[in-house]
């Protein structure tokens, strides 16, 4: 597989290089030189396979000879150990539930596949993943790399500034997962990570690597669940399918568009955002003008400069599609809360991110169409806001309830790079 840098098309790298490096020159994103495409018969064949076999075919079509197909299948089986069911909500609407993994959010799919790929590429080499988190990503990364040989993970987070349940989710694992509560804010954690990557001696000695959200392996993994959703629908539903994607960094939407570009006949997409509406405004005015990020109840979508947008535009350009066919819109917190109540009345407990996607789907779906909105997180993951809005208690899934009783294993540290460096150098080889 070859990928080019969207900011400098002369920089062309292999899949392995793109996975370990993350970004290209000038912080450019990598994009596949060829988007594989399937004929109608091949799509029909794929839809009849099980999730792991089908996903292996899809990923292998991209990755090609760089990874042997049987080995790839084993990796896919290790990563995709949970289901992505479509649950009906109304006669013409269903939700694709992507939150049945260990950290209860869709990021488990991409995170776990990336971990498998990094392990495969590193081979016997020892590597250390260093990352900063404000909550969600850290949990997905920790669980994805937990107990993977030769890989150590160090996660920095701001002490006291993430929810107690989130902290329990990834700071109780131990083993190869090291968590450090920094006595400062998220920006300070990110600055420490940056300092570590600028330290050549440290980088080489401990084999420093990032597990960045723009990593191409994550996106490829996410393509697979769009096929999985499609396979669960009736012929009638498949023929007029509209998918609404709650969007922050627009990675999930990029993966859906790649699925369509490969030949999966999805009629159209809706990119749903909260008050952080840079993309809807851009499509209306043609001016890219990010505002200051505002905090909302769908906080995983609080992104005002979505970093996957150049990939979205590249797909539309390559395929000759018209950006005006992309549905968009923004949903306020007030309407999000009302929509969660509306869904509750329909018998479906949802959380703020999915509710944003449902709102725009419901408003924009036309007669004869079938709509899917992505359920990106389990309601228990946002238990405070869900219980507050629905005015009743909801159950914690067993995995989370069990974790909530374990002791925290985190170290505590001031925001001091020399202390962090000392710790990293002292980790067992």
List interacting residues with ligand PLP (CB under 6 A). 105, 107, 136, 246-252, 300-301, 353, 376-377
Of 73 and 353, CB closest to ligand PLP:
353
Neighbours of 418 (CB within 10 A): 8
The SS3 of residue 171 is coil
Q: Least Å distance between CB 99 and ligand PLP?
A: 8
Q: Least Å distance between CB 253 and ligand PLP?
A: 6
114-126 per-residue burial string, b: 16 or more CB within 10 A, e: under 16: bbbbbbbbbeeee
Find all residues with CB under 8 Å of 408, minimum gap 6, and list them. 167, 168, 171, 172
CA distances from 300 to 42, 106, 116, 306, 365 (A): 36, 12, 24, 12, 25
Of 251 and 327, CB closest to ligand PLP:
251
Of 67 and 312, CB closest to ligand PLP:
312
Of 64 and 290, CB closest to ligand PLP:
290
Q: What is d(CA 174, CA 171) in angstroms, rounded to the nearest whole number?
A: 7
Strand blocks (E) in 98-213: 127-132, 151-158, 177-182, 208-209
Q: Least Å distance between CB 225 and ligand PLP?
A: 12
Q: Least Å distance between CB 385 and ligand PLP?
A: 12
Q: Least Å distance between CB 351 and ligand PLP?
A: 7
CB of 219 closer than 8 Å to CB of 106: no
CB of 268 closer than 8 Å to CB of 242: yes
Of 148 and 301, CB closest to ligand PLP:
301
Of 178 and 375, CB closest to ligand PLP:
375
Which tokens sit at 69?
A: 């197909």
Q: Least Å distance between CB 12 and ligand PLP?
A: 25
CB-based burial label for 139 (10 Å; 0-12, 13-18, 19+): buried
């Amino acid at each position: 597989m070859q990928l080019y840098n969207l900011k400098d098309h002369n920089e062309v790298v292999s899949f392995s290089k793109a996975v370990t490096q993350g970004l290209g020159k000038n912080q450019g994103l990598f994009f596949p030189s060829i988007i594989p495409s399937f004929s109608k018969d091949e799509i029909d064949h794929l839809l009849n396979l099980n999730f792991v076999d089908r996903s292996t075919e899809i990923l292998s079509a991209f990755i090609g000879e760089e990874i042997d197909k049987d080995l790839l299948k084993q990796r896919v089986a290790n990563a995709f150990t949970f289901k992505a069911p479509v649950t009906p909500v109304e006669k013409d609407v269903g939700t694709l539930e992507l939150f049945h993994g260990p950290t209860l959010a869709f990021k488990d799919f991409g995170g776990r596949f990336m971990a498998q790929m990094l392990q495969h590429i590193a081979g016997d080499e020892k590597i250390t993943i260093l990352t900063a988190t404000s909550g969600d990503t850290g949990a997905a990364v920790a669980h994805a790399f937990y107990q993977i040989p030769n890989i150590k993970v160090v996660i920095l987070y701001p002490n006291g500034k993430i929810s107690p349940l989130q902290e329990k989710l990834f700071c109780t694992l131990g083993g190869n997962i090291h968590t450090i509560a920094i006595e400062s804010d998220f920006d300070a954690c990110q600055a420490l990570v940056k300092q570590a990557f600028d330290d050549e001696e440290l980088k080489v000695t401990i084999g420093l690597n990032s597990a960045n959200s723009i990593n191409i392996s994550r996106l490829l993994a996410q393509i697979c669940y769009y096929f999985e959703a499609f396979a669960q629908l009736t012929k009638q539903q498949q023929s007029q399918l509209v998918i609404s994607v709650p969007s922050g960094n627009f990675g999930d939407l990029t993966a859906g568009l790649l699925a369509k570009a490969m030949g999966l006949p999805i009629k159209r997409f809706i990119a749903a955002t909260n008050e952080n509406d840079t993309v809807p405004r851009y499509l209306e005015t043609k001016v890219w003008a990010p505002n200051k990020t505002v905090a909302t109840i769908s906080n995983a979508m609080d992104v005002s400069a979505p970093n996957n947008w150049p990939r979205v535009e590249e797909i539309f350009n390559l395929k000759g599609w018209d950006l005006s066919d992309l549905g968009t819109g923004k949903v306020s917190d007030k309407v999000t809360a009302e929509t969660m109540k509306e869904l509750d009345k329909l018998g479906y407990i949802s959380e703020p991110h999915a509710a944003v996607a449902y709102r725009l789907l419901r408003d924009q779906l036309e007669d004869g169409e079938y709509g899917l909105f992505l359920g990106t997180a389990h309601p228990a993951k946002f238990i405070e806001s869900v219980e507050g809005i629905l005015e009743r208690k909801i159950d914690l899934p067993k995995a989370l309830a069990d974790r909530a009783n374990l002791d925290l294993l985190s170290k505590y540290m001031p925001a001091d790079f020399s202390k962090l460096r000392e710790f990293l150098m002292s980790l067992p080889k």
